[in-house]
Amino acid sequence: MSSIIKAGAELGTLDIVTAGGIAIRRSEVAADYENAITPLIDALDSRVGLLLSSSYEFPDRYKRWDMGFVDPMLSVTSRGLSVEVKALNARGRVLLPVLRRTLDGLDAVQDVEAAGDILSATVRRAERRFAEEERSRQPSVFSVLRALIALFRSDADSHMGLYGAFGYDLAFQFEPVDMTLERGDDQRDMVLFLPDQIILRDHQRQEARLMSYDFTIDGATTAGLTRSQAEVPFRPAPAPARACDHEPGEYAALVDHAKESFKRGDLFEVVPGQTFFEACPAPPSEIFRRLRERNPAPYGFLINLGDGEYLVGASPEMYVRVTGRRVETCPISGTIKRGADAIADAEQIRTLLNSAKDESELTMCTDVDRNDKSRICEPGSVRVIGRRQIELYSRLIHTVDHVEGTLRPEFDALDAFLSHTWAVTVTGAPKLWAMRFLEANEKSPRRWYGGAVGKLGFDGNMSTGLTLRTVRIKDGVAEVRAGATLLYDSDPIAEEAETRLKASAMIDAIRRPRGTARP
């Protein structure tokens, strides 16, 4: 990445030895703050990598920062119980032998094989039932992630880690749900990258740094090896054959169907979605710039997943954040349209806060969230530290709770991640029954929607956002999925309209160039 980022003064080096015996040298140089991420955004159109960018600040919750990379050395991908670790360049190949030993020593996987630059393995199916408190420790693709994090574990650096996207279907490794929707052959459940060069931009200090890492193990080193990989330019596609996976009125009919489940007591709430399809003549970098300009969000991202697939998002919701032993989430439920000006916004906020339905939605979500934490947190440590707080976005106003807990010593960040899979704000309650309802009644698989994006740090920390307000681009066609929280008193027409409102900012970013007036 040093080929696209103009480096400045050297800021020093740091030598690290990981828990698995890998020697790492980190070199740090200053970068131009104003232009640090501009070339990265452009490069992601044709090069695998990621940018995480926060353009929304909330005291003690979200800070404005950017971090990203291209040309990572390794990828970790999964589909179902199959996992692949792939060296993406010569530098990644240096680590393949130690990664092979790590997988060979892992009881949770079988059929470990090496073919060229790829290590593959299959997760063993659990031989016994796991209690709810143990669900995060049963064999799964996360067993591989836990082993990799243990191999690279070091508290000396807060930026090394696995970065990428976690798909909705990962939950089915733990939840007994019959998967009836057809999954495409191109669907991946997880794509994570191990970068060895990261650009960081700190908005509070107004400074930027380029961090570079060299790895040495078993006498082999990445020092002096190239990071370059083949570039695959973005290519637009013709207009898609359909505009939505629901015909007008079908989502409203689904609301009526859900209300029958509420009457029977099968569900308390559920969050079905619908997907909109758009031609995407602009490259992903331009969609990202439009979103960042028009819809600032705490979890903005641009990810080139490879294989012609991109994620461009402006998510308002934290999924799980772990700092030390502190676990945080910020459930969002309760939505109303922005007003035309500050006075109209105030009226809308008053309406939202006085809505018994919206209050009930958020209360139910937070109750489930607290229960998720209680499985892994110290007794008495789970508490709501912010109640029905207002967050304003470009077109919407949300009410948000802020919940925290303290991890018990025997649990880690991955346990926290898995205990919340997936957030009640995108599934429903009871969570298992809601997920079964969604699988049986949604028109298409969720893929990345309702999953998470972010970082699993090798220092034991984690920062992830929920995959909402996201454009998935595949082979030049854009997809936007949006849902609404349904309760027993939901208005079918209003709920269908809410999904369209939530999707509208993403669709606007696809259709409307920067500098043009909103229609």
Q: What is the DSSP secondary-structure string of 204-245?
A: TTTEEEEEEEEEEETTEE-TT-------------PPPS-SBS
Q: Tell me the β-bridge partners of 407.
A: 377
Pick from 102-111, 288-297, 431-440, 463-472: least confident: 288-297
pLDDT digits (tens, 9 = 90+) for 169-218: 999 998 889 999 999 999 999 999 999 999 999 988 899 999 999 999 99
Confidence bin at 362 (pLDDT 50/70/90): very high
Confidence bin at 515 (pLDDT 50/70/90): low
- Shared domain for 260 and 155, answered yes or no, is no
CB 13 within 8 A of CB 48: no
125 φ, ψ (degrees, to nearest 5): -75, 140
CB 424 within 8 A of CB 365: yes
Confidence bin at 483 (pLDDT 50/70/90): very high
Averaged pLDDT for residues 37-65: 87
pLDDT beyond 90 at 296:
no
Q: Tell me, yes or no, whether 226 lies in a domain.
A: no
Residues 164, 190: Cα–Cα separation, whole Å:
8
pLDDT beyond 80 at 229:
yes
- Shared domain for 255 and 211, answered yes or no, is no
Q: Tell me, yes or no, whether 345 lies in a domain.
A: yes
- Shared domain for 71 and 178, answered yes or no, is yes
- Shared domain for 94 and 134, answered yes or no, is yes
Dihedral sign from CA coordinates of 61, 459, 78, 128:
negative
Give residue 63's identity as a one-letter amino acid code. Answer: K
- The number of distinct structural domains making up the chain is 2
69 SS3 class: strand
- Shared domain for 207 and 334, answered yes or no, is no
pLDDT digits (tens, 9 = 90+) for 136-169: 889 999 999 999 999 999 999 999 999 999 999 9
Instruction: Give 139's contacts (C-beta < 8 A, 6+ positions apart).
Output: 107, 108, 109, 123, 124, 125, 126
For the chain, how big is the Rg over CA atoms in Å?
A: 22
Confidence bin at 80 (pLDDT 50/70/90): very high
Q: Tell me, yes or no, whether 232 lies in a domain.
A: no
CA atoms within 13 A on the CB side of 448: 31
Q: Tell me, yes or no, whether 194 lies in a domain.
A: yes
Instruction: Tell me which DSSP letter residue 182 carries.
Output: P
- Shared domain for 328 and 460, answered yes or no, is yes
**Ranges of H-type helices in 153-191:** none
Q: Tell me the β-bridge partners of 48.
A: none
CA atoms within 13 A on the CB side of 172: 20
- Shared domain for 475 and 428, answered yes or no, is yes
Q: Which domain holds residue 132?
A: 7-221
Q: What is the pLDDT of residue 410?
A: 95
Q: Tell me, yes or no, whether 228 lies in a domain.
A: no
Dihedral sign from CA coordinates of 159, 120, 474, 439:
negative
Q: Tokens for 249, please give them.
A: 């009125």
Q: Tell me, yes or no, whether 49 lies in a domain.
A: yes
Residues 244, 512: Cα–Cα separation, whole Å:
19
Averaged pLDDT for residues 90-118: 97
406 φ, ψ (degrees, to nearest 5): -115, 120
- Shared domain for 138 and 258, answered yes or no, is no
Residues 246, 444: Cα–Cα separation, whole Å:
10
- Say which CATH number the domain at 81 has: 3.60.120.10
Whether a cis peptide bond, with omega within 30° of 0, leads into 296 is: no
pLDDT digits (tens, 9 = 90+) for 373-426: 999 999 999 999 999 999 988 888 999 999 999 999 999 999 999 999 999 989
Residues 442, 481: Cα–Cα separation, whole Å:
11
Q: What is the pLDDT of residue 1?
A: 61
Instruction: Give 142's contacts (C-beta < 8 A, 6+ positions apart).
Output: 136, 170, 173, 414, 417, 418
Instruction: Give 231's contacts (C-beta < 8 A, 6+ positions apart).
Output: 46, 47
Averaged pLDDT for residues 316-334: 95
Q: What is the pLDDT of residue 137?
A: 85
Dihedral sign from CA coordinates of 122, 128, 129, 130:
negative
pLDDT digits (tens, 9 = 90+) for 350-359: 999 999 989 9
Averaged pLDDT for residues 462-482: 96
pLDDT digits (tens, 9 = 90+) for 63-77: 778 999 999 999 999
Residues 479, 167: Cα–Cα separation, whole Å:
15
Q: What is the pLDDT of residue 87?
A: 98
- Shared domain for 216 and 260, answered yes or no, is no
- Shared domain for 300 and 444, answered yes or no, is yes
Domain boundary among 180, 203, 221: 221
Instruction: Tell me which DSSP letter residue 508 carries.
Output: H
Domain boundary among 200, 221, 242: 221
Residue-level length of the chain: 519
Q: Tell me, yes or no, whether 236 lies in a domain.
A: no
Q: What is the pLDDT of residue 519?
A: 55
Q: Tell me the β-bridge partners of 200.
A: 67, 209
Residues 504, 446: Cα–Cα separation, whole Å:
18
- Shared domain for 149 and 257, answered yes or no, is no
- Shared domain for 305 and 180, answered yes or no, is no
Confidence bin at 514 (pLDDT 50/70/90): confident
Residues 327, 412: Cα–Cα separation, whole Å:
10
CB 49 within 8 A of CB 196: no
Q: What is the pLDDT of residue 443?
A: 96
Q: What is the pLDDT of residue 265?
A: 93
Q: Tokens for 269, please give them.
A: 């709430």
Mean of pLDDT over the chain? 93
Averaged pLDDT for residues 341-348: 95
pLDDT beyond 90 at 16:
yes
Q: Tell me, yes or no, whether 202 lies in a domain.
A: yes
